[in-house]
Structure 1
Amino acid sequence: MTSDVDDDIMDTGPSSTLPRRQLGRFLREVREASGFTLAAAAKLVDLSPPALQRIETGQTQKVRKQDVRALCELYGVSSEDIQRAIDLAALAKTQSWYHAYGGLYSTAFNMYVGLEGAARQLVTYHEHVPGLLQTADYARAVIGAYPGFDDRDDIDRRVELRLRRQAIITRKVKPVALVVLLHESALYRVVGGRKVMVVQLRHLAEISKLPNVVLRIVPYGAGLIWGMPHGSFTLLEFDTNAKGGTVEPPIVFMEGGPSPDVYLERPDEVRLYSELAMALRSVSLDEKQTRDLIRRVTKEFERDQH
């Protein structure tokens, strides 16, 4: 199979960057896991090394399905994952797109996990403790409550993955900057029982002391921000290049739960959520007030256990 010249040219059209970035990340991960160098893999599927590198870095919009299939077969990818990779290649050509793949797919296809790990900063609003700050027991209670998740081994595997994700904020080299705007209701919503909540709240108070973590409570007294209820969201921001420009544009992620996950890329949409995050932060408690409140609620749970 010989690659067309047009496929080696970076396409800067208006299509979504998300599918091709996820496809590239997946192909790079399975290539490395299979022990192929980029040059060796490119040669075996009749691509030039620069062309394969552009595919792996998500810079090529028009990724040919036959190239994706050849790469996947070379790496020994399952037939199901080959089809998912081909689906992403097709999605990479669309101009308007939201992501309907989720955590029920393999880790390699969980787009949010990949984006989260590549981010420079995460700004997130939640009304329950977000995954990056959850203890094992809290995570197990959350995951175990999801309809159909009744296999203990499967739940344990998902909890393990969630805890591994947390390394991005505790690693010594370039930890992700994390800003969590947590609604006060999250402190009182009992997940897994009062004993689980005591450990979880103590963990929140401690991890909020990390220099790269900002945790601020949005109190009940703040009312409705912008006069309307809104769900959880995460604003992901990425590194800048030597010229100060963004390597990847910022993205807003909204976890779908029973419905599909949603990713927003348009600058006006991202700007709107950035302004919402600033509005939430402006009415939130400061870091010391937040820790003081968390400790008071922890003591309430501790008294209730006796």
Structure 2
Amino acid sequence: MTIAEASRLMEWGASTLQRLEKGQADRIRTIDIQELCRIYGIPAELADGLKGLAQQVPAMSWWHSYDSGGGIPANFDVYSGLEASAQRIASYQSEALGGLLQTTEYAMAVNRLGYPDDSEAQLERRVGLRMQRQVMLTKKVSPVLLDVVLHESVLRRVVGGAKVMSAQLRHLADFGTRDNVSLRILPFAAGVPLGVSTGPFTVLEFGTDSKGHPIEPSVVYAEGLSGELYLERRTDVRRYDRAHESLRDCALDAQASRQLLRAVAKEFITQ
């Protein structure tokens, strides 16, 4: 459907719809999103998620609750959409591996724990989608830049058994040799570099235009037991950027990190 066709059905001028699509609209009304979803034939579940997002547009931070609070359905996957658009991802993982680094077996073990009521077919679908996301790291043209700091506890925490962990750690060691991937281990010996405990977080950057201006504001993502927090305010993003830099500075370098990964992988095999 062209801009002209869609705007005519909305009884708008074409420039109004173009501004909305480019993120330049002064405001986004829920009723407009509802009508556009109807015109485009968007499934009701996805339309509900988009309307929920529209309600949160004026805020510089927003919350996706797993109990459907805030108008966004619990099963609406906000993060994957942002991740797929990112050009650089910087993350700190302190408890478990993020989806972009998981092997199929590790992902299956994590999903079995997270979704105990799912059937085997549903679990396989979840894992399949997670594996598809990893293509953004391995594609030949403009792969996403990934800068990860892993706490050593992630290496030691057993997910899926010793065999799964050994294969997972070897995978990490090999994956860290890619030109677009930086993977460093923060050892126990580093203590608490920030002076406070911090949970896992991810900073997503979306590139710059020809003038060097950000195409979209960077977003900080932090997941909790009851939902996901997204922060866009510049001061918040800078705070997490500095935290990631500090953690990275205290981590082992790339080569030492790979050596530790392979050493721990061998430990699992000998158990």
Tell me how far apart the structure 1 counterparts of residues 217 and 75 of structure 2 sit (CA, whole Å). 22
AA in 2 matched with 1:126: Q
Deviations 1:57-78 (A, max 9, x none): 3222412333222211122223
AA in 1 matched with 2:89: L
1:96-245 to 2 correspondences below 5 Å: 97-100=61-64, 109-127=76-94, 128-146=96-114, 148-245=116-213
Tell me how far apart the structure 1 counterparts of residues 234 and 108 of structure 2 sit (CA, whole Å). 36
Q: Tell me which residue corresponds to 1:250.
A: 218
Q: Tell me which residue corresponds to 1:75.
A: 40
The answer for unaligned runs of 5 or more in structure 2 is none
- TM-fit CA distance, 1:205: 1.0
TM-score of the aligned structures, taking structure 2 as reference length? 0.91
Structure with larger RCO (C-alpha < 8 A, sep 6+): 2
- TM-fit CA distance, 1:85: 2.5
| Aligned residues of 1:149 and 1:155 also touching (Cα < 8 A) | no
Q: Tell me which residue corresponds to 1:287.
A: 254
Tell me how far apart the structure 2 counterparts of residues 124 and 77 of structure 1 sit (CA, whole Å). 32
- TM-fit CA distance, 1:95: 3.1
| Aligned residues of 1:143 and 1:149 also touching (Cα < 8 A) | no
The structure 1 residue matched to 2:18, chosen from 53, 65, 69, is: 53
Tell me how far apart the structure 2 counterparts of residues 138 and 219 of structure 1 sit (CA, whole Å). 22
**Distance 1:233-1:282 versus aligned 2 partners, 3 A rule:** same
Could you tell which deviates more after superposition, 178-187 or 44-53? Answer: 44-53
Tell me how far apart the structure 2 counterparts of residues 97 and 129 of structure 1 sit (CA, whole Å). 25
The structure 2 residue matched to 1:95, chosen from 49, 59, 83, is: 59
Q: How many positions carry a matched residue from both structures?
A: 267
The answer for unaligned runs of 5 or more in structure 1 is 1-35
**Distance 1:79-1:150 versus aligned 2 partners, 3 A rule:** closer
- TM-fit CA distance, 1:221: 0.2
Tell me how far apart the structure 1 counterparts of residues 218 and 50 of structure 2 sit (CA, whole Å). 24
AA in 2 matched with 1:262: L
Tell me how far apart the structure 1 counterparts of residues 112 and 221 of structure 2 sit (CA, whole Å). 23
TM-score of the aligned structures, taking structure 1 as reference length? 0.81
Q: Tell me which residue corresponds to 2:226.
A: 259
Deviations 1:157-203 (A, max 9, x none): 21111111111111111111000100111111110111111211111
AA in 1 matched with 2:236: E
**Distance 1:274-1:96 versus aligned 2 partners, 3 A rule:** closer
Deviations 1:44-96 (A, max 9, x none): 2222333222222322241233322221112222334333332322222x335
Tell me how far apart the structure 2 counterparts of residues 63 and 209 of structure 1 sit (CA, whole Å). 44
Deviations 1:204-251 (A, max 9, x none): 111111100000000000001222211000111121111111111212
AA in 2 matched with 1:99: W
| Aligned residues of 2:60 and 2:232 also touching (Cα < 8 A) | no
Tell me how far apart the structure 1 counterparts of residues 123 and 20 of structure 2 sit (CA, whole Å). 34
- Give the secondary structure class of the aligned counterpart of 2:194: helix
- Give the secondary structure class of the aligned counterpart of 2:37: helix
- Give the secondary structure class of the aligned counterpart of 1:215: strand
**Distance 1:185-1:110 versus aligned 2 partners, 3 A rule:** same
| Aligned residues of 1:101 and 1:110 also touching (Cα < 8 A) | no
- Give the secondary structure class of the aligned counterpart of 1:275: helix
| Aligned residues of 2:60 and 2:233 also touching (Cα < 8 A) | no
State the Cα RMSD in Å.
2.3
| Aligned residues of 1:122 and 1:179 also touching (Cα < 8 A) | yes
Tell me how far apart the structure 2 counterparts of residues 74 and 216 of structure 1 sit (CA, whole Å). 48
| Aligned residues of 1:252 and 1:270 also touching (Cα < 8 A) | yes
- TM-fit CA distance, 1:124: 0.3
Q: Tell me which residue corresponds to 1:19.
A: none
| Aligned residues of 2:61 and 2:232 also touching (Cα < 8 A) | no
